[in-house]
Amino acid sequence: MKDNGVEVAVRQLGKPGYFFVRLTDGELDVTRKIYLRKGERKTVFIPAPIKGKEQVKIEVWYEDSLIDSKIVNLKFGNGGLKPSNGSTPSIISLKPFTVTLIVVAIIILAAIVILVVKAFTRKKPLPPPPPPEYQFS
């Protein structure tokens, strides 16, 4: 962290897409948009006047879903502001992958059920009618 903004490390464990990293504290509301591929990690700098502030809230959004939210307590350290735990906040986005996995599993199970039901309800073809009987006179 610097007195003119915050660096946030974001790692994507699910499918690729756009993420919104938002910094807010009641007076501030600054958002940065980043694109992450699966397994990619990026550090995004959010410019904001945070000098003299005690805490800020950092949120990570994927499309219109809130993935993670953390309140970071700030304190003065050597070389500027630092989070109270001494490290850059790391927010891991796992929920998009979980939701995708659940949807795919439901689709596969539904397809299996439909195929099984069709197999048991399929009508067997009727045997051919017996040949007509002829009478000889």
- In 3D space, the residue among 54, 62, 61 whose CA is nearest the CA of residue 1 turns out to be 54
Structure tokens at 47: 């410019």
Torsion 110-111-117-118 (CA) sign:
positive
Arithmetic mean of pLDDT, 89-94: 43
Domains annotated on the chain, with CATH:
5-93 (2.60.40)
Own/partner contacts of 27-32, CB < 8 Å, gap of 24 or more, are 28/56
**Percent residues over pLDDT 90 in the chain:** 8
pLDDT tens, 49-82?
A: 877 788 888 888 887 888 888 888 876 544 444 4
Residue of 68 and 95 predicted with greater confidence: 68
pLDDT tens, 99-117?
A: 677 888 999 999 999 999 8
pLDDT at 7 over 70: yes
